[in-house]
């Protein structure tokens, strides 16, 4: 770290990963250039199969890159993986705790692996248990845990050595809303303590609510990077969604060529229009549909969401591909 300049937590250049099977060569990550700043919550957003987990596993030293360079937590990923490992924590989608043993055992063992003495490990495990409010289940086998308890334990396992950078792979997938909110709270608390958090998600609201900055990955490439606000602002104008009685295609044909419509598409049976100014476009839309004899059922005006960002960048809706 230079004087006065805080080094980026992660910096990658052309990071690539190719998987070879007997029949074909799959380019899972085509070339990722990323900068994650120290201390931020960085969201890695994309549909399943886009290369999120592969990128994460490369950055966490689990998978050797096929090409490119990366610095993680101030160390070179390729030449100093051991030093990277000491500074990062990683929580996979599967979690990482054995169902047959209890949470305290797993935490203590994890502490010992990071070089703590028996006493220090027991003390640190107790701290984590208290911090993540796992007291009621800490001494029971993991298989008896609720989804939320299990996820908190897994996160705890990634935190025992106070890493400066924590990777979370889809930390809230499969959790009920309450457990999800608890995980968000934990992530924010880590952030407040100065930990850099790199998380993947395919939930747009999660990226929007939790992350300082996000990158969107699709087909192994970064298609957008910035704060959620910046990205949404880049999709300038407003979004109008409407449905009509009868086929949506008929309405699309009427509206597509209009001067105030920058882009139009059909999403799940409704027409979606990107317009410069919603308040100008709305009356015109109503007039034109009326003139075409199409009965309007619903119409809505909203600011662009991250889904609109994704749609603009990839031509597909994230909700659609994630489903």
Q: Could you tell me the CA-to-CA distances from 92 to 34, 72, 205, 284, 301 in Å, in that order?
A: 20, 18, 21, 50, 39
If the CB atoms of residues 12 and 54 are measured against another protein, the closer one turns out to be 54
User: Tokens 């911090």 appear where?
Assistant: 131
Interface stretch with another protein, choices 39-47, 85-93, 212-220, 281-289 (CB under 8 A): 85-93
Q: Is 80 in the site for another protein (CB under 8 A)?
A: no
- Say if residues 78 and 69 touch (Cβ distance below 8 Å): yes
184/297 Cα distance (integer angstroms): 37
Report the site for another protein in 149-208 (rule: CB under 8 A): 154, 157
Q: Which of 16, 52, 71, 85 binds another protein (CB under 8 A)?
A: 85
Question: x/- site string to another protein, residues 50 to 69, per CB under 8 A?
Answer: ----------xxxxx-----
Q: Which of 42, 44, 90, 203 binds another protein (CB under 8 A)?
A: 90
Tell me how far, at minimum, the Cβ of 269 lies from another protein, in Å: 38
Per-residue tokens: 116: 């703590």
Tell me how far, at minimum, the Cβ of 127 lies from another protein, in Å: 18
- Of 85, 89, 125, the C-alpha closest to 105 is 125
Question: Cα 295 vs. chain centroid, distance in angstroms?
Answer: 40
If the CB atoms of residues 220 and 228 are measured against another protein, the closer one turns out to be 220
170/179 Cα distance (integer angstroms): 13
Tell me how far, at minimum, the Cβ of 279 lies from another protein, in Å: 51
- Of 113, 139, 108, the C-alpha closest to 125 is 108
Return the ∠ at Cα 93 (arms to 76 and 112), rounded to 5°: 65
Interface stretch with another protein, choices 108-116, 181-189, 240-248, 308-316 (CB under 8 A): 108-116
Per-residue tokens: 249: 């295609």
Q: Is 290 in the site for another protein (CB under 8 A)?
A: no
Interface stretch with another protein, choices 7-15, 87-95, 205-213, 252-260 (CB under 8 A): 87-95
Q: Which of 5, 24, 82, 269 binds another protein (CB under 8 A)?
A: 82
- Of 321, 93, 68, 107, the C-alpha closest to 204 is 321
Q: Is 93 in the site for another protein (CB under 8 A)?
A: yes
Q: In the chain, what are the helix, strand and coil shares in percent, each to the nearest 5?
A: 40, 30, 35
How many amino acids of this chain bind another protein (CB under 8 A)? 29
Residues that bind another protein (CB under 8 A): 60-64, 82, 85-86, 88-90, 92-101, 105, 109-110, 112-114, 154, 157
């Amino acid at each position: 770290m230079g004087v006065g300049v805080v080094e980026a937590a992660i910096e990658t250049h052309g990071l690539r990963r190719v998987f070879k099977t007997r029949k074909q060569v799959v380019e899972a990550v085509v070339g990722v250039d990323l900068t994650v700043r120290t201390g931020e919550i960085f969201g890695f957003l994309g549909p399943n199969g886009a290369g999120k987990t592969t990128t994460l596993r490369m950055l966490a030293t689990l998978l050797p890159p096929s090409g490119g360079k990366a610095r993680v937590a101030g160390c070179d990923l390729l030449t100093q993986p051991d030093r990277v490992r000491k500074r990062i924590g990683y929580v996979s989608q599967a979690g990482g705790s054995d169902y047959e043993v209890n949470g305290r055992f797993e935490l203590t063992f994890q502490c010992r692996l990071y070089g703590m003495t028996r006493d220090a490990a027991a003390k640190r495990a107790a701290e984590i248990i208290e911090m993540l409010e796992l007291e009621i289940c800490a001494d029971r086998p993991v298989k008896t845990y609720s989804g939320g308890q299990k996820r908190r334990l897994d996160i705890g396992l990634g935190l025992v050595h106070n890493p400066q950078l924590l990777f979370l792979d889809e930390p809230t997938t499969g959790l009920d809303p309450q457990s999800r909110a608890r995980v968000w709270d934990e992530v924010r608390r880590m952030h407040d303590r100065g930990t850099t958090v790199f998380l993947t998600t395919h939930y747009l609201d999660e990226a929007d609510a939790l992350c300082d900055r996000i990158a969107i990955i699709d087909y192994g490439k970064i298609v957008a990077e910035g704060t959620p606000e910046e990205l949404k602002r880049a999709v300038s104008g407003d979004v109008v969604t409407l449905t009509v009685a009868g086929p949506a295609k008929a309405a699309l044909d009427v509206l597509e060529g209009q001067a105030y419509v920058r882009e139009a598409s059909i999403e799940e049976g409704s027409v979606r229009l990107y317009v410069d100014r919603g308040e100008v476009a709305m009356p015109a839309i109503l007039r034109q549909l009326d003139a075409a004899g199409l009965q309007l059922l619903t119409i809505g005006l909203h600011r662009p969401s991250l889904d609109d960002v994704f749609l603009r960048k990839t031509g597909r809706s994230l909700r659609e591909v994630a489903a």
